[in-house]
Amino acid sequence: MDTGVFLAAAGGLVVATYLLRLAGVFWGSRLDSRLRFWLDRATVVILVAVAATQTVFDGQDIAGASRILGVTVGVLALWWKVPMLAAVLLAMLVTALLRLAGMP
Amino acid sequence: MVNMTSSDRTAWRSGAVICLTLLAVAVSYGSLSHQAGLHLWQTALLAALAYGGAAEILFVGTVGAGGSPVAAALGGVLVNSRNLAYGAAVGTFVPRGWRRFFGAHLVNDETVAFARSGTDGADGAGRWRRFSVLGVAMLFCWVSGAVAGQLIAGSVDTAAFGVDAAFPVILAAMVLEDLRRRPVLLTALAAVVVAVVVTPFVPSGLAAVCALVVLLPWALSRGGR
């Protein structure tokens, strides 16, 4: 990645993230509970939406079925309280085996 | 030396599991970063300074999909915004002085949860000790794992191992406990539908931001509660 673009974008992320953490440590107890609630909800929505698009798409093209099936198995495993490390490895295993069998 | 009770030992064992899991996530983050076209120094610098797994995977994933760096940074900041609330919890036990500035950098999901566990949970010094030890150990695992992942990805075909299936599951694991509450689950499912439907039509990286519209009817009907 181009150094200038990286430094600008990553620098923004790094500085904003540190200031959020620092603000929390110093003034977090005075934070409005409704603001906290909506930040929390927005975070869940964004993370879930990113997980979905990373599963279904490669850029803007539909991804192969092997990854979609592997991720589905991994998420179901999480739902049934399989530890994260095991669920991640399971998703990778299913995807890898389907690819080995020739699925795109 | 500190005398350890059996409950403390259990706590430290779970800390070790956290580090091991993080190491695996870091390796996959490093390989994703390699595919996204980041240099090794960029991966390592981002890992050490942003120090937020989900935000960084979001960042390099967006850039890797050809999305705008601005969208990638804004998405990462939003995901990291929960650290504001976590920081409030840490502010109750972090010592005064320079340690506040150092401790702030270690605020994340796991360190805050870990600080609250154990028998000396009510004692501020015990919380600070657990928080800071795990925070530094996780930082070490995160950066070294990311570097290892990038080096491995340069020489191994990661697609054959299904590494691309790891990231969505990692992200799902971070919000899974929220999803067990029905209103959150319904909102999340709506967000999935919106994000998937709009992806072919919006600039890369913006689909997840578009998904925020699902909060709108909820906000209007429940008056912000």
**Which residues sit opposite A62 in a β-bridge?**
A57
Enter the pTM of the model. 0.78
Check A52 against B191: CB less than 8 A apart.
yes
Q: Which two tokens stand for residue B214?
A: 């699902």
What tens digit of pLDDT does each residue of B68-95 get?
A: 888 889 888 888 887 887 888 888 889 9
Tokens of residue A35, six digits: 């603001």
| Residue B170 identity | I
pLDDT in tens, B23-36: 888 998 999 899 88
**List of chain A residues whose C-beta atoms are within 8 Å of the C-beta of residue B84:** 20-21, 23-24, 28, 31, 36, 39
B223 falls in which pLDDT band (50, 70, 90)? low
Q: What band does B151 get if pLDDT is binned at 50, 70 and 90?
A: very high
In chain A, what residues touch B45 (CB-CB under 8 Å)? Answer: 10
**pLDDT score recorded for residue A70:** 97
Q: How confident is the model at residue B204 (pLDDT cuts 50, 70, 90)?
A: low
Residue whose C-alpha is closest to residue A23's, from B134, B131, B100, B45 = B100
Contacts of B104 in chain A (CB under 8 A): 18, 21-22, 24-25
pLDDT above 60: residue B10: yes
Query: Looking at the complex, does the CB of residue A76 fall below 8 Å from at least one CB of chain B?
Result: no
Q: Which of A29-38, B20-29, B61-70, B152-161 has the lowest mean pLDDT?
A: A29-38
**Which of A15, A29, A43, A47 should we substitute to test contact with B (largest number of B Cβ atoms within 10 Å)?**
A47
Burial of B109 (0-12, 13-18, 19+ CB in 10 A): middle
In this predicted model, what pLDDT tens digit does every residue of A12-59 receive, in sequence order?
999 999 999 999 999 877 777 787 788 778 878 888 988 898 899 887
Residue of A nearest to B88 (CA): A28
pLDDT of residue B1: 42
- Cβ-nearest to A6 among B42, B168, B174: B42
Provide the mean pLDDT of chain B. 85
Q: Does A60 touch chain B if contact means CB atoms closer than 8 Å?
A: yes
Q: Indicate yes or no: CB of B91 within 8 angstroms of CB of A29.
A: yes
Residue B189 has pLDDT above 80, yes or no: yes
- Taking phi over 0 as left and psi of -120 to 50 as alpha, with beta for the rest, B205 belongs to left
Using CA atoms, how far apart are residues B84 and B75, in angstroms rounded to an integer? 15
CB contact under 8 A, A84 and B170: yes
Which residue in A13, A47, A93 is closest to B171 by CB distance?
A47
Tell me the count of A-B CB pairs closer than 8 A.
285
Contacts of A5 in chain B (CB under 8 A): 69
Partners of A57 in beta bridges: A62
Does B225 score more than 60 pLDDT? Answer: no
Respond yes or no on whether ipTM tops 0.85. Answer: yes
**Which residues of B fall within a CB distance of 8 Å from A87?**
169, 173
What residues of B are in contact with residue A29 (Cβ under 8 Å)? 88, 91-92
Residue in chain A closest to B63 (alpha carbons) equals A1
Confidence of residue B197 (pLDDT cuts 50, 70, 90): very high
Q: Could you give the CA distance from residue B212 to residue B214 in angstroms, rounded to a whole number?
A: 5
CB A28 within 8 A of CB B91: yes
With residues binned 3-state (H G I as helix, E B as strand, rest as coil), the percentages for chain B, rounded to 5, are: 75, 0, 25
Contact B208 A22 (CB under 8 A): no
